[in-house]
Amino acid sequence: MRQRPHLVLLHGWGMERRVFSPWLPMLEQDFHVHSWELPGHGERPCPAAGWQWETELDDLRERLAAVPAASILLGWSLGGLLALALALRGDLRLTGLVLVATSPCFVERPDWSAGIAAQTLDDFARELTRDAQGLRRRFFALQTLGDPAARARMPQIDDWPLPDRDCLQAGLEFLRDIDLRPSLHALPYPVLLLQGDADRIVLPAAAEALQQALPGSVLRLLHCGHAPFLSQPAACSQALREVFLA
């Protein structure tokens, strides 16, 4: 009997691992699935010293080393930015990388039109201090805008505890400041990019740029918004099977 590979899931900003729950029954047919919380989200506390980018990458490396076998790492949105940064460090127990609605640079820059306006994240940061729950609710609505399939499968987020505000603020700063484009290079294992063609947060152009900058990577452009695994779970599962189990 074929051994099921280990698959590690990292969620996005303001979410928690439960966001993957509707997709898990499909994934668990083919993979040993590990869903991890980001700091300050779900049941994982925010570090007393604050959520630091390099410290989090070190922690993820240690956690991957503790998985019983080499893993496929899947990150969505902010989780994808962390997954990509970790993979680019090298020397990991990875057999593959999946980037879902992920950009190497989330914010527009003079030489990068495939990001969102920096003002948008600044507005989010101000809103966070006034109405964090309302901000999260509006951010979730933006993820599923024009995507009724994702909206129907999105768990009831109002029942979830609000993530730690300091970690939410740090996550916004990561999205604003981190630019991995100068570090992009070929990786020694398969890379799958899952991207919605109607994504309002990560533009398809960002995924196309990643495909060009990561030689050999496979891009699946799906008809959906920012959460392809909710909109089209079967198509996402099939893409994983084709890239990693064929």
Q: How many CB atoms lie within 10 A of CB 170?
A: 22
Q: Which of 11, 34, 41, 226 is catalytic?
A: 226
**The pairing of beta strand 191-196 with beta strand 94-100:** parallel
DSSP H helices, the chain, are: 24-27, 53-66, 78-89, 118-130, 132-143, 148-153, 165-177, 204-213, 228-231, 233-244
Q: Take residue 140 and report the two structure tokens written for it.
A: 């979730």
* Residue 226 among the catalytic residues: yes
Q: Which of 34, 35, 41, 77 is catalytic?
A: 77
Kindly state the helix (H) or strand (E) to which residue 196 belongs, with its residue range: strand 191-196
Q: How many CB atoms lie within 10 A of CB 241?
A: 14
* Residue 113 among the catalytic residues: no
- The DSSP letter of residue 161 is P
Contacts of residue 150, defined as CB under 8 A and 6 or more positions apart, other chains included, come to: 143, 144, 224, 225, 226, 227, 230, 231
- The residue count of the chain comes to 246
**The pairing of beta strand 71-76 with beta strand 94-100:** parallel
Q: Which of 6, 41, 199, 231 is catalytic?
A: 199
Question: Which positions are catalytic?
Answer: 77, 199, 226
